[in-house]
Amino acid sequence: MDFKQKVAEIIKQLENELTIEEIMSFIEIPPNSEMGDYAVPCFRFAKKYRKSPNIIAQDFVEKIGLTNEFEKIQNEGPYLNFFVNKKFFVKNVLEEVYEKKEKYGSTLEGKGKTVIVEFSSPNIAKPFHIGHIRTTVIGNSLYKIYKFLNYNAVAINHLGDYGTQFGMLISAYKKWGNKEIIEANPIPELLKLYVRFNKEADEKPEYRDEARYWFKELEEGNEEAKELWQWFRDVSLKEFSRVYKMLNVEFDSYAGESFYSDKMSRVIDELENKNLLQDSQGAKIVNLSEYNLTDALIKKSDGSTLYITRDIAAAIYRKETYDFYKNIYVVGSQQKLHFEQWLKIVELMGYEWAKDCEHVQFGMVSLEDGTLSTRKGKVVFLEDVLNKAINKTKEIIESRNPNLENKDEVASDVGVGAVIFQELFNNRIKDYVFSWDKTLSFEGETGPYVQYTYARTCSILSKSNTEISSRINYSILSDKLAFNVIKKIDGFSNAVLSAAERNEPYIITRFIVGLAQEFNRFYHECPILVDDNETKNARLLLTQSVNTVLKTGLNLLGMNAPVKM
């Protein structure tokens, strides 16, 4: 039962002109549980009844009377406060978790709808650095959340495998490259070439012309250029796959920018036919000044295309291929203008589904001594971050639990999980400074804390040697500590729905930290494996429910849940 819905139904019997949805929108959760579990402010009814909100609330209490679902309903000044029937509430929540298991919190809202989540999308032949972690873990979590809500979710890695940078790389390789050296250590060696090219091009501007020439050759199908490009792509993907494996990230499609190279002429023709293109010093642009946007460059004067052209082609392809309900792009906030431009162009082309495309922005990562810059070679490799986290976790395991089974696996789950959790703990739009100390901290509101709480529930359930049943005495779990845990569990579905609605995984991160904290308070005050079977069985059902929800929550963030730590 949805108790908030029940409150709305009770109020609707008194105020029939309001819809259930309208009533639900103004129901509040009191800041203190002593004031009730739900509250209805009565200010809005003052004009209608020409009475003070306090008197209206008192009148409502008398009209409602007694109900099975609420043990008492009372007015506190202008508020109508509902106190749920604890036994009724506890039974309702725990039976649902028991029956639904890992599906608890899921809904059918996504049935028959496709959501595309584009995320990660690193540039070929460049380092997979700490700056890529945000798009990768935010996108992976959103993908999992949408799947959990029964959407047909499609994870796309829109690889940066096209553009002038490949002209630079081809030119650099032809000048200074060594195939054997690159094969032995692909990304660092390709990065060296890229950095050297940019440095020397500052002194020799003709290098930039040479880079543009080679990219144009690549676009026009030059065999040598294509062969080098394919090799750069292959060795890069091999390197990237190691990091994706560590993060437990998988994609349904790796269709990057190059995939759309033969689909761009259609876009340009369509823009021409719809009179959206203008000439500008030999280049082709779309004038967006009347929409308070800078003009969008569609085709350079040398005939080569840009990101914006490929993004328009990609969106059209995705609509025609997947018929998406939502098409979301997990891309940094510094690309805001780019997305505003091409989405406006898609709208001007007459595609009403432009409104279903959404730029899910996130803040930038910088280092403690300045910003990241691939061009200058100033990067922190993501693989190094993850390995350092794993190694630190191994040291902690050796000092605290040296006899732990599967130490390497647990160290990986906890170390990588710590990095993911820290990334997903705050609102995604915030910029932040990457700090080793903060990332690898295992104290406070962290991933290891939640994972440890999950492992604690596993240990309790294992030691109990008892078959858990939902046929228990629910009144045993009506005390404040147990009830707070169960109230928290009851909020899981809303947390997941809110995370999807706002594309904010941190809502789930904060939720599972809160649940872990509530359970640990209960655990320290209320022994679970006691002699009294009635009490033990009731507390074991609560423990199993926490176990279920913590594991689901961790999985939705893209984290593993170790059984032992």
d(CA 321, CA 315): 10
Residue 328 lies in a domain: no
Q: Determine the Cα–Cα distance for residues 413 and 410; give it in Å rounded to an integer.
A: 5
- Note the pLDDT of residue 373: 57
Q: Is residue 48 part of a domain?
A: yes
Tell me: the pLDDT tens digits for 525-546?
999 999 999 999 999 999 999 9
Place of tokens 């919190």: 105
Query: Virtual CA dihedral for 129, 124, 421, 392, nearest 10 degrees?
Result: -50
SS3 441: coil
Tally of domains within the chain: 1
Statement: residue 37 has pLDDT above 60: yes
| Residue 14 lies in domain | 3-84
Report the amino acid identity of residue 503. Answer: N
**The one-letter amino acid at 348:** L
* CA 55/CA 75 separation, integer angstroms: 9
Q: What number of other Cβ atoms are within 10 A of residue 161's Cβ?
A: 25
Catalytic hit among 129, 144, 299, 319: 129
Question: Which one of the listed residues 132, 326, 359, 536 is annotated catalytic?
Answer: 132
Q: Check residue 302 and give its pLDDT.
A: 78
In this prediction, residues 511-521 reach a mean pLDDT of 97
Whether 263 sits among the annotated catalytic residues: the reply is: no
Do residues 550 and 453 make contact, with C-beta atoms less than 8 angstroms apart? yes
> pLDDT digits over 395-426, tens only?
999 999 999 999 999 999 999 999 999 899 98
In this prediction, residue 369 carries a pLDDT of 64
Contacts of 10 (CB under 8 A, 6+ apart): 64, 67
* DSSP letters for 83-132: EE-HHHHHHHHHHHHHHHGGGTT--STTTT-EEEEE---PBTTS--BGGG
Q: Which residues contact 237 (CB under 8 A, 6 or more apart)?
A: 124, 159, 254
Task: List 69's β-bridge partners, or say none.
Answer: none
More confident residue, 299 or 560: 560
What's the confidence (pLDDT) of residue 364?
Answer: 83
Q: pLDDT at position 239, please? A: 87
DSSP at 381: B
- Can you tell me whether residue 52 is helix, strand or coil? coil
**What is each CA distance from 344 to 18, 268, 294, in whole angstroms?**
38, 15, 11
Q: What residue has token string 């036919």?
A: 273
Residue at 47 is within a domain? yes
CB 91 within 8 A of CB 1: no
Task: Assess if residue 563 is contained within a domain.
Answer: no
Convert the pLDDT of each residue in 345-391 to its tens digit.
999 999 999 999 999 999 987 767 665 555 555 677 888 889 999 99
Chain centroid, CA 450 distance in Å = 18
pLDDT band at 129 (very low <50, low <70, confident <90, very high): confident
Domain membership of residue 54 (yes or no) is: yes
Question: Tell me, what amino acid is at 305?
Answer: T
Instruction: Look at residue 61 and tell me if it is in a domain.
Output: yes
DSSP string spanning 398-429?
HHH-TT-TTHHHHHHHHHHHHHHHHHTSS-TT
What is the pLDDT at residue 300? Answer: 85
pLDDT of residue 303: 76
**First-residue to last-residue Cα distance in the chain:** 36
pLDDT in tens, 48-86: 999 999 999 999 999 999 898 999 999 999 999 999 999
Average pLDDT of the residues in 206-231: 92
The catalytic residue among 91, 126, 158, 319 is 126
pLDDT reported for residue 398? 93
Q: Provide the CATH number for the domain around residue 66.
A: 3.30.1360.70
* pLDDT for 304 beyond 80: no
Regarding pTM above 0.95, the answer is no
- Token reading at 73: 């309903």
Nearest Cα neighbor of 544 from 102, 87, 84, 86 is: 102
Residue 150 counted as domain residue:
no
Rounded alpha-carbon distances, angstroms, from residue 101 to 77, 174, 208, 372? 41, 58, 59, 43
Q: Is residue 338 left, alpha or beta, with left meaning phi > 0 and alpha meaning psi from -120 to 50?
A: alpha
Residue 411 belongs to a domain: no
Chain segment 95-111, per-residue pLDDT in tens? 999 999 999 999 999 99
**pLDDT computed for residue 443 by the predictor:** 74
Please tell me the predicted confidence (pLDDT) of residue 153.
Answer: 98
Percent of residues, the chain, with pLDDT higher than 70: 97
- Both tokens of residue 381? 């490799």
pLDDT band at 433 (very low <50, low <70, confident <90, very high): confident
- pLDDT at residue 253 in the model: 96
> Cα–Cα distance between 277 and 287 in angstroms, integer?
8
pLDDT per residue as tens digits for the range 19-29: 999 999 999 99
Can 158 be counted among the known catalytic residues? no
- H/E element holding 79? strand 79-84
